[in-house]
Amino acid sequence: MTYEEVVKEAQKIVAMGDASGIKEHLAVQYNITGEGEGAFYMELKDGQIDVQPYDYRDRDILVTADAGTILDMMSGKLDMVHAYLTHKIAAEGDLGKVDILKKLISSAKKAEKAAAKAEKKTAKKAK
């Protein structure tokens, strides 16, 4: 997976989340190691979420891991705290703000489940 593909996938993942109810500010920089190496940031501000392919110097949290691990965390397949405790990632900064990130991931997982359920209903009606 190239760096550009990793960033596009991260943008796609966060687009599924609903940040409208989250009023806290959070800036996370992800440093990708190995394949797709590079850095991108995710910023949650005023209920809006943005992912951009740049370093973010005024970040709350810095996460370093391989692309697959980062994308798994962003999609909720891997818990960030578990990943940190099992040394799958390196993280530094205000790790207390991980709860904000968990809220966002939870909203994305709910939206994904709702979309899958709606898709199943549509498929059943088509039969």
DSSP assignment of 84-107, as one string? HHTTSSEEEE-GGGHHHHHHHHHH
Summarize the confidence of residues 32-61 as an average pLDDT. 92
Summarize the confidence of residues 62-90 as an average pLDDT. 93
Confidence band (pLDDT; 50, 70, 90) for 24? confident
CATH tag, 3-126: 3.30.1050.10
* Tens-digit pLDDT profile for residues 79-112: 888 999 999 999 999 988 888 888 777 766 666 6
The structural domains of the chain, with segments of one domain joined by +, span 3-126
More confident residue, 24 or 69: 69
Which residues contact residue 89 at a Cβ distance below 8 angstroms, ignoring those fewer than 6 apart?
63, 64, 65, 69, 70, 73, 80, 83
Confidence band (pLDDT; 50, 70, 90) for 18? confident
pTM for the full predicted model: 0.83
